[in-house]
Amino acid sequence: MNPLKALHGHGQSIWLDYISRGLITTGGLKRLVEEDGLRGVTSNPTIFHQSISGSADYDGAVRHALETAPGITTQALYELLAIEDIQAAADILRPVYDASDGADGLVSLEVSPHLAHNTQGTVAEARRLWQTVGRPNLMLKVPATSEGAPAIETLIAEGVNVNVTLVFSLAHYEAIAHAYIRGVARHPDPRRVASVASFFVSRVDTAVDKALGAIDIPEALALRGKVAVANAKMGYHRFREIFYGKPFEAQRKRGGRVQRVLWGSTGTKDPAYSDVLYVEELIGQDTVNTVPPATLNAFRDHGRVWPTLSTGLDEAKETLARLAALGVDLDAVTEQLQRDGVAAFASSFDQLLASLDEKRRALQVGALAPSRPA
């Protein structure tokens, strides 16, 4: 059996952490849904930057937009292109959404990362995008900053699906899980709203491995490549306590959905590790794994499927205890990772706009050959 499809039998949905006009128009996304059991799509400013600036797939659409509205701003142009992609992907995944009663078939679009520390700005932007995209299987991505938590509560209460991104620590997770529960409590029909908590994985190993390498003793080097999975398993354990325990009990009785844990940043960055490490080690009920195309292909080829999240909790606790004994402050590391993540997405967003502005100028002066709208 296709390992990607086998994941669903263990309660995990596989999503694609990538979107592009070409993937949609060539039928590639539809094939992934039909042949691999793909159940969702996530995007971020970095992905859109790579997709829009890295190919000619959008040239026709940009030219058409400039002919239709010559005075359009670069940011409005980006939003037009991104929303077209999100709407098209949402339409392809709509049968999955309907068949799963709204649990899957979701497509994520990031609220501007420049609003990560602006609660009201995030809420206003999310409301606007929700209305503009006009698809019930849209998910809006909001970062798990201290300012993001109240925005998440408000949006959930209003029935807006939220993908909470840039979760790195148990502290981040606790805050947004309870924000979700408060939002569900305010929603008149919580069965109609969905949310995931995106726990980032590989970036933790990248940062911690660097600290362990600086210590450079056998006890430290033995922990390399193990901390991210241990941290994620602790997060999953807390998820089970919250959503199958008293904190969510009242809302569960009202029909509220659990806020599934989504494993993000699951492409392996260190070539010394298995290219499917962050998929194989994090399989379990009520989870999503969103993977880049290379990881999707690797797991289809040689992934092994078994419920790894149901084991290894004691080992995870021991790993984190050993890390602390070596003097590595994981809380400090994960706080810095969240700050860096917000900054990186903001930088990618700015680079995207700069590249798109360059493309529009080239098209306006005829430097690029004409093409039909995509």
- What is the C-alpha R_g of the chain? 21
Structure tokens, 92: 């392809």
**pTM (2 decimals)?**
0.94
Q: Measured between alpha carbons, how far is 369 from 362 in angstroms, rounded to an integer? A: 10
Model pLDDT, residue 374: 45
CA-based end-to-end distance of the chain: 36
Model pLDDT, residue 21: 95
pLDDT tens digits for 286-312? Answer: 999 999 999 999 999 999 999 999 999
Model pLDDT, residue 361: 86
The structural domains of the chain, ordered by start, are 3-364 (3.20.20.70)
User: Residues with Cβ < 8 Å from 337, sequence gap 6 or more?
Assistant: 168, 200, 203, 204, 207
Model pLDDT, residue 368: 45
Among residues 30, 141, 246, 269, which one is catalytic?
Answer: 141
Please say whether the beta carbons of 291 and 17 come within 8 A: yes
Model pLDDT, residue 363: 82
The DSSP call for residue 113 is G
Model pLDDT, residue 373: 46
Structure tokens, 360: 């529009």
pLDDT averaged over consecutive 10-residue blocks of the chain (374 residues)? 96 98 97 98 92 88 92 94 97 98 97 97 98 98 98 98 98 98 97 96 98 97 98 98 98 97 97 97 98 98 97 97 98 98 95 92 66 46
pLDDT tens digits for 262-293? Answer: 999 999 999 999 999 999 999 999 999 999 99
pLDDT tens digits for 153-175? Answer: 999 999 999 999 999 999 999 99
Distance of CA 77 to the CA centre of its chain: 23
What is the full DSSP assignment across 348-362? HHHHHHHHHHHHHHH
Please say whether the beta carbons of 109 and 161 come within 8 A: no
To the query of whether residue 253 is one of the catalytic residues in this protein, the response is no
Comparing CA positions, the residue from 331, 342, 47 lying closest to residue 168 is: 331
What is the full DSSP assignment across 271-300? TTS-TTHHHHTS--TTEEEEE-HHHHHHHH
Q: Kindly state the percentage of the chain with pLDDT values over 90.
A: 92
